[in-house]
Structure formats: C-alpha cells, structure tokens
Amino acid sequence: MKTPKDAEDRRAAKPVICYPNDTLRRPPLEQYDRARASAREVTKVVVPPREARHFHVSAGSFFRITCIEGAQVGDLNLFEARHLEEHFYSGKTRALHGSHLHIGDRLWSALPWLRPMATVTADSLDWYGVDEDGARVHDVIGTRCDPYTHHLLTGEDYHRTCHSNLSRALAEYLGKPPSEVEHHIHDVLNVFMCTGFTRDTGQYFMKASPARQGDYIEFFAEIDLLGLLSACPGGDCGAEHSSDSAQCYPLEVTVHAPAAGMLDGWYSPSVNRYSRRHAPD
C-alpha cells in the first residue's frame, strides 16, 4: 500500500497519557513503613516448584513473596476474601500505573468495585529499572501460562502451567473440582518476571529474572484478601515458561500483622463511588 505524503507528520503526533493518575489518593507509605517495622509474622506458606498455594491476608497487614532458594517467577491472583467476583484487574492496573509495578503502585480490583486491593511497599529488585532491551521487572502485561495456549502452539498437553496450578489451589480452598472453579482464575501480576516488548515486532518477550535467593517484593493489604501464588514451571523464565526441564525453586509467602495503633487514621478503601451511585439496573 502506498505511503501517504504526510506520513511523517502523522507519526509525529505527541503521545498523551491515557489515564493521568495525579488525582489518585497517594498511599501513606511512611505510615506503612512504620507499621511494618513493628509487625510480627502470623503466617508462612511455602509454594513448591510447579505448584500453587492459597493464603489469606487481613486488611491492614503485609504479605511478602520471597525467592527462598533461587531465581523463580511467580504468578499472583488476588480476590476479595469473601467475594471471588471482586478480583485483581491487571489491565486497569496497567493503565493506571504502567506495564510493570513499583513501590507505591497499587493493585486495583475489577469493575464495578475498582478500588485498591494492595499497595507495593518494598521491592529488593527496585534497582533494576529499565535495561537496554526495554525490559523491567514485575509485569502486568502477561496473562499467565495456560494449557490451552500451550496446546494451540505445540499440540501437546501440559498440566502444570500457572493457570492449571492456580485452578487446583483455588479448587482445594473451595473444596470443588478444578473444572468448576477455573473460570475464576484471572490475569496475573508476574512477580519477579523480567519482560518487555520487542522494538521491531511489538511481541511480548521474557528474559532470565534478575532475582536471586533472598530477593522479595512486599505488599500492604488494603482489603481482606485471598491470594493464590503459582511457582511458574519456567523457573526464572529465561528460556520457556511451560516446562518440566527448567530449574525451578519454591517461593515463600509470609504475612505480617502490625502492632496495635500503628495504623491509626488509616481506613480500608470502599468500593468505587460510581458503583454505589449509578449501578446498572
């Protein structure tokens, strides 16, 4: 097709941020840091390689995901603890904060609730920034590895994808068969995953995670949460993400509750006000 004469003028249009976030209420990170300093561990869950586990976090508590043996990517799902329909909305989180999350960014819930579920409060990989390939860490781009796409691309059946693992973990929690609950599994926060888009084709790419033993990311729970975490079968995702040959390690989730009085003045966010005023009939 013939290139128009004004092609360069069209390409020269200035980018405009779709969702300016300067009007969002800023999380009180200093208060969270003080509360975390007094917090005591109340729960510890170890997620074995190529498996997933569930965990609970009360509003006003912290949860930390740690690489306890080596570089390992994790896929995180979050739900309102009593209502699975309110779950993490990776697309809107990406629109509000960007393709990869950093300290102070929040994980938002699905419509019509659209409220903060958790806030990133600490990250040992915050130093990574953007590398020469345009890659960053902790993405809300990828959907999660799943057996359907794997079969579509390879013709093979693989049952230890993150979608499969998360489905089994939720099934165990609810006491139901995985086939009855997998529709609740949603797009994830790819914890420790190093990703970006290729410059020439715009394809989603991954590279070996910069995480090492002891690296962590920590969150403050803004509401009561049910969490699901899968230790990706791709390990550090330096080669592939649906594999029985990649070196994989366990992940650990620890939940910490702050001392009484450390969150005075803090309140758990209510559901989106538009939802309360203008819910569809």
Tens-binned pLDDT, residue by residue, of the chain (281 aa): 899 999 999 999 999 999 999 999 999 999 999 999 999 999 999 999 999 999 999 999 999 999 999 999 999 999 999 999 999 999 999 999 999 999 999 999 999 999 999 999 999 999 999 999 999 999 999 999 999 999 999 999 999 999 999 999 999 999 999 999 999 999 999 999 999 999 999 999 999 999 999 999 999 999 999 999 999 999 999 998 888 999 999 999 999 999 999 999 999 999 999 976 665 55
Q: What phi and psi, each to the nearest 5 degrees, are found at residue 122? A: -155, 150
Per-residue confidence (pLDDT) for residue 41, from 0 to 100: 98
| 185: its two tokens | 């599994």
3-state SS assignment for residue 83: strand
Helix, strand, coil share (%) of the chain residues, nearest 5 = 20, 30, 50
Residue at 74 is within a domain:
yes
Residue at 32 is within a domain:
no
Residue at 19 is within a domain:
no
Residue 87 β-bridge partners? 79
Q: What phi and psi, each to the nearest 5 degrees, are found at residue 35? A: -65, -40
Residue at 209 is within a domain:
yes
Instruction: Provide the domain count of the chain.
Output: 1
Per-residue confidence (pLDDT) for residue 179, from 0 to 100: 96
Per-residue confidence (pLDDT) for residue 280, from 0 to 100: 57
User: What single letter denotes the amino acid at residue 31?
Assistant: Q
Residue at 22 is within a domain:
no
Residue at 220 is within a domain:
yes
The whole-angstrom distance between residue 227's C-alpha and the CA centroid of its chain comes to: 10
pTM of the model: 0.96
Q: Which helix (H) or strand (E) holds 47?
A: strand 40-47
Residue at 24 is within a domain:
no
Per-residue confidence (pLDDT) for residue 275, from 0 to 100: 72
| 130: its two tokens | 């953007």
Per-residue confidence (pLDDT) for residue 231, from 0 to 100: 98
Residue at 23 is within a domain:
no
3-state SS assignment for residue 77: strand
Per-residue confidence (pLDDT) for residue 32, from 0 to 100: 98
3-state SS assignment for residue 95: helix
Closest CA relative to residue 166, chosen from 109, 252, 230, 113: 230
Per-residue confidence (pLDDT) for residue 175, from 0 to 100: 98
Per-residue confidence (pLDDT) for residue 243, from 0 to 100: 87
Domain span at residue 46 reads 41-278
